[in-house]
Amino acid sequence: MPTQDELFAAVDSLLAGEPELPLPAERARLREAAGVTQARLAQVLRTTTQTVKNWENGRSEPRPPRRQAYQRLLEGWAAKYPQPADSESADSVTTDSVPTDSEPESGPDTFTGPARQSEPPAPTTPTAPSANPAQAAQAATPHPGSATRSTARRTATKAAVRPAVDPRFPHGPLAVLDGNGAAYCAGGIVLECPATTIPQLVEWTLRESGIGAARLHRNGKDADPLIALTESATARFGLPARLEDRRGLRLPEDHPVVREIASAKWKLTQRGFGPWARIYRPAKGNERQCVQLAVLPWDALDTRAWGDAGELPAPELARVLGVYATRVLTPRGSTAVTGLELMTAMRPPTRAVKDTSTGEWVSGHNPGSLGTIPVDPAPPEAPQEHPVAQGWTGGFLDEEAYQWVRDPKLLTDEECLLPYAVGIDINTAFLAAAARLAVGLGRPRRVQRPVFDKKVPGSWFVDLSHVEIDPRLPSPFTPTGERPTGPAWYQTNSVAYAVELGYDVHPMEAFVRDETGPYLDPWHDRLKNAYVTTMADLGVPTGKDVDERAFLEAMEHHKQVDPPLACVLSAIKATLKGGVGKLRERPQGRHYRDGDRWPALVRATWRPDIRAAVISKARINMHRKMLNTAKAAGLYPLAVLSDCVVYPSKGPSPLDFLPLTDEGHVLPGTFRLGVGPGLAKLEGVQEMAWAVDLMEQGYNPARHIKGGDAVLDEGE
C-alpha cells in the first residue's frame, strides 16, 4: 500500500498537466479538463482503470489514503478549471459497458467459454497508433513523477511493429522484468515493479501494471498478462537458476516459492511452476484473475522456435514478444501450445445465448467451433495406443509428410551431368493447406460401401493401387512415395486427388462427419497476415506482381536486416507447425501403457483427423506442383522432404530450371516464387555430384541441401 506522501507527490506532478483525452462526468469533467485519462489517473493513484470508472460513475467511493489524495487532486483541478455557468448537471454521466466474462471454476486452462449473464458487449476495438512515430512515443511516455518511468533513450521501436493500444491495457500485452524491478513493455515503455515475491508480482500485474490484451473474437476471452522473468529477475524472486527436475520441468511442491503462492491463496495449474507458469484464482464476477510467467533461464523460449530471442537484452526481447503477441497471440507456453490456443481464440467454443425460459444470457455452443466436449476419433484415425484403437485390426490412416528419394537407377546421364542440385521450399505449406479446408466438427459416423464425395471430410478405406504415376515422381498417396499395394485408409483430400487424376474410386467403408466447416480459416488468416507482414518488415517484397529475382535477392539477407524481428518470423512459423502437431499430441512418460487415456485427450482440440486433413492436403499440393512441372518442362525431382523438393539444375537459382512464361515469370501451377503461403523460395544449393552420392548411399538430399540436418516437420 503506498503512503499518503507518495500519493501526494504523484498527484502534484499530475497537476502539471497531461495530454488531452476527453471522457464523461463532474469528477470526470475535471479530469477531462486536465487532459488526463482514466488509465493515467489509475497509475498515479496506484489502482485500476475500472476502479476509477466506478468512482466517476458513482458505483463506489475511494478509501484512505487514496480518498484524501483523490480529493486533493480534484480540488487542484477545480481551481484550474472552474465549471462553466451553462454546464449541464453531473447527472448526465454516461456509463461504459463492462465486459462480463467469467472464469470456469476449473481454472484458466479449460476450453469452456464465458457464461454471460447479460447482453454481451461488442468487442473492444484497440485504438490505432499514431501515424507519427514521435507522437506515438510521446503519448506513451509516462510523466516523470508518476509510478511509471520511461527509458532515457527509447529502444528503436519501428512504427511498423508498434502495437495498437487498448485503453484497458495501456502498456500492451506483456512485460520483460529484470532484477532491478524494471518491467520493459512493448512500445519502449518501462514500468517500475516494486514486487519482491511472486504473489506480489501477480497482484501488481493484475492491479497496477495496465498489461493485457483484448480478445480476438467477441465470444472469446481477453489474453492474460504475461511477465517474462530474466535471469536476474529469477534470482530476485527466489527461484533457482536452473530446474533440477528436467523431466517434469517444474519446481517441487515443497519449494518455498510454491508454498508462498499457496499461502497467498493463489493457485497453479496442473503444469505446476515450470518454464511457463500460470498463476490464478477462480474469477469473481466479471474479474478474471490470471497471470502467465515465462522463466527465461529455464528455457521458456525454445531456441528451435525463437532462435536467439532469449539472449536479447530486456528492451529488445520486449519488442520481439510484443510484436509476436500483437500479430499472433500473447504466448501461452511453447509455440506449439500457442498455435493450438490461437485456434480456440479465433473460434471460441461457446457464445452467449438467451435462455428462452428465463430470459437470461447463458453459455451455449458457438457454431463452427469444436465445442467444449472432446470426441474420440474413428479407430483408423487414432494413434495405435489410443483406447479406441485397442483390438482394431482394420488398418490405420498414414497421412504424413513426404520422405522420398528417387531411385538412383532412374537418373539420366543428362541429369547427372548438370552442375547443381537446387532445393526449393514451400512457404508455410501447412498454413496454405489449411486455407478453405473443410473439416469435420463432430463425431465420426461409419458407413459401409459409401459413394465417395470430395465435400465430405472423413477417412475412406479404398484401393488406390491402380493409379499410375511416373516412377520418377513420388506416389501422392503415401509419405514414402511408394505405390500403394492394396486397400488402405486415406483422408478425403487424398482420395479426391485420385479422382482429379481421372481414376475411379470405390471405397469399401468410411468414417465420415456430418457437421463440417472451415474451422481453421480464421487461424489461417491471422497467421498468414503475421507471416507476410513480418517478411515485409524484413525487406522482402510481398506484392502480387513481385519481381522474382528481386524476391530471391531479398531472401538472401532478410534475416540480417533486423535479427530480433527474424526471431519473430521463426516463432510464427513454429507456431503454425506446432499447432498442427498439437492436434494429435501423443502420450508422454515412461509409465504410460497402451490403451490408457492421456491428458491431451480431454481437449476438444485433440483432433488427429484434422491434422491428417492438413498434412494430406499439403502433400497433395506438393505433388500437384511436381506433376505440373514435369508436364510443362519434363523436370523430375531428386528427392522430397516434407515441404522441400530438390531438382537438378544448370544454374544455382530456381529460375535456372523452373518453367517460365513468355514474360519471364515462373509458370502458374508449378513452383511460383514469392512470400505468400504455398509459394516457393530457395532452400539451398549443392553440387549435383554431392546429391547423387547421397542418393546412392540411401540418404535424402533434401534433408541436407541447406548445409545442415533438416528437421522433418510431420506436424508432431
The model's pLDDT over 568-589, given as tens digits with 9 standing for 90+, comes to 999 999 999 999 999 999 998 7
Which residues make Cβ contacts (< 8 Å) with residue 358, sequence separation at least 6?
none
| Mean residue pLDDT across the chain | 85
**Where is average pLDDT lowest: 48-52, 215-219, 515-519, 703-707?**
48-52
Is the peptide bond preceding residue 377 cis, with omega within 30 degrees of 0? no
**Where is average pLDDT lowest: 111-125, 628-642, 678-692?**
111-125
Average pLDDT of the residues in 582-601: 92
Are 649 and 655 in contact by the 8 Å Cβ rule? The answer is no
How far is the C-alpha of 389 from the C-alpha of 586, rounded, in Å? 14
Q: Could you read off the pLDDT of 602-660 as tens digits, one per residue?
A: 999 999 999 999 999 999 999 999 999 999 999 999 999 999 999 999 999 999 999 99
Q: Tell me, what amino acid is at 219?
A: N
Average pLDDT of the residues in 551-558: 95
The answer on pLDDT for 115 being more than 60 is no
The answer on pLDDT for 437 being more than 80 is yes
Please give the pLDDT value at position 342: 97
List the grid coordinates of 125: 476495438
Please give the pLDDT value at position 715: 53
How far is the C-alpha of 577 from the C-alpha of 337, rounded, in Å? 11
Return the half-sphere exposure (C-beta side, CA atoms, 13 A cut-off) of residue 289: 18
How far is the C-alpha of 340 from the C-alpha of 606, rounded, in Å? 9
Report residue 63's pLDDT band, with 50, 70 and 90 as the boundaries: confident
The answer on pLDDT for 58 being more than 90 is no
- Cell 503512503 -> residue: 3
Report residue 6's pLDDT band, with 50, 70 and 90 as the boundaries: low
End-to-end CA distance of the chain: 48
Please give the pLDDT value at position 95: 31
C-alpha pair distances (Å), 191 with each of 14, 43, 444, 653: 17, 10, 52, 49
Listed by start position, the domains of the chain span 4-92, 134-354, 373-587+601-716
Please give the pLDDT value at position 43: 83
Report residue 405's pLDDT band, with 50, 70 and 90 as the boundaries: very high
How far is the C-alpha of 222 from the C-alpha of 337, rounded, in Å? 17
Please give the pLDDT value at position 75: 81
Q: Tell me, what amino acid is at 289?
A: Q
The answer on pLDDT for 688 being more than 90 is yes
**Cβ-count burial 590-603 (b if 16+ within 10 Å, e if not):** eeeeeeeebebbeb
Average pLDDT of the residues in 470-488: 97
- Cell 463452427 -> residue: 368
C-alpha pair distances (Å), 238 with each of 193, 203, 229, 399, 425: 16, 17, 12, 47, 46
DSSP summary character for residue 623:
H
Fold (topology level) of 4-92: 434 Repressor (Amino-terminal Domain) (1.10.260)
DSSP summary character for residue 171:
T
The answer on pLDDT for 154 being more than 80 is no
Q: Could you read off the pLDDT of 484-501 as tens digits, one per residue?
A: 999 999 999 999 999 999
Please give the pLDDT value at position 138: 34
Q: Tell me, what amino acid is at 465?
A: S
Q: Tell me, what amino acid is at 203?
A: E
Please give the pLDDT value at position 521: 96
Average pLDDT of the residues in 382-394: 95
Alpha-helical runs (H) found in 454-520: 492-500
Please give the pLDDT value at position 286: 65
**Where is average pLDDT lowest: 106-120, 232-246, 367-381?**
106-120
**Where is average pLDDT lowest: 196-205, 359-368, 643-652, 673-682?**
359-368
**Where is average pLDDT lowest: 121-125, 213-217, 355-359?**
121-125
Report residue 348's pLDDT band, with 50, 70 and 90 as the boundaries: very high
| Pick from 321, 322, 312: nearest CA to 563 | 312
Which residues make Cβ contacts (< 8 Å) with residue 707, sequence separation at least 6?
684, 686
How far is the C-alpha of 28 from the C-alpha of 5, rounded, in Å? 24
Report residue 383's pLDDT band, with 50, 70 and 90 as the boundaries: very high
- CB count in 10 Å sphere of residue 521: 17
- CB count in 10 Å sphere of residue 70: 22
Q: Tell me, what amino acid is at 65?
A: P
**Where is average pLDDT lowest: 135-139, 301-305, 343-347, 532-536?**
135-139
By DSSP bridging, strand 403-405 and strand 487-491 are: unpaired
List the grid coordinates of 694: 547421397
- CB count in 10 Å sphere of residue 512: 20
Residue 544: burial class (beta carbons within 10 Å; 0-12, 13-18, 19+): exposed
Please give the pLDDT value at position 10: 65
Please give the pLDDT value at position 322: 97
